[in-house]
Structures are given as structure tokens and as C-alpha cells.
Amino acid sequence: MKPTTVYGTFLSVMGTLDPEDLVRGYMAGFDDEYDVDAVVSDFRDALNALLPGSLALAGNEFVGDVDDADVPDYWAEMFNEDVDGIDIGELCERHPADNNYFPPCPEDGHPAKTG
């Protein structure tokens, strides 16, 4: 097993504490409409798929093999740009709350509450 090291924290790379903060920020107060844990899990999977070489998001740290030649010095900049391509809205739509789903409102994309 190769020795590993921390390449950075989610905060230092993304400017927010953790992936859940980004998901909840996207949901903008509509988080009771979705299974937040499932959305965050899918978001973490999507984030990990973007990471080069041996890097993986473990908790809120980016961990990988020491001196991994497949991890360029500019990996954080590439990753930060690539994250914009993840459609959090689509992840939300995959995981509505079991008892409280409302279809998206066409004007703003947020769920419409009725009644």
C-alpha cells in the first residue's frame, strides 16, 4: 500500500466547508422537498469522478497517494472549474422527499408548493 497525503481541504479548494453546503445552497430553502442525504451522496460521487489520479474526497479532505504523477500541480483549479458541470438540480430531481414532492416551477426551477 502506498503512503497517502492530504492534497487540500474542500474549503481551500471550493471556498465552502463541505459538499453539503453547496447542495443546500442550491436548494435555497427547499431542502425539505428532497432527500438531502441521497443528493449529497450522489454529489460526492460526481465530485470523486472528476478527481485525477489517486485523489479521492474523504470526508472534507482530498486524499491521494504521495507524489502521484497523475495529479498535476494545478488539479485544484481544474477540479473547481469542472464542478460547475455537475447538475445539482438533476441530482435533486432523482431524490424527492418520500412524502412531499412537488414538480418544478417553470419560472425559477424550484418546486412549486400547492394548497
Helices then strands, each counted (H, E), the chain: 5, 3
Which of 19-23, 44-48, 61-65, 110-114 has the least mean pLDDT? 110-114
Residues written for the chain: 115
The cell for 51 is 478527481
- Boundaries of every domain in the chain: 4-94
Q: What is the pTM of this model?
A: 0.82
pLDDT band at 77 (very low <50, low <70, confident <90, very high): very high
Cα separation, 95 vs 35, whole angstroms: 5
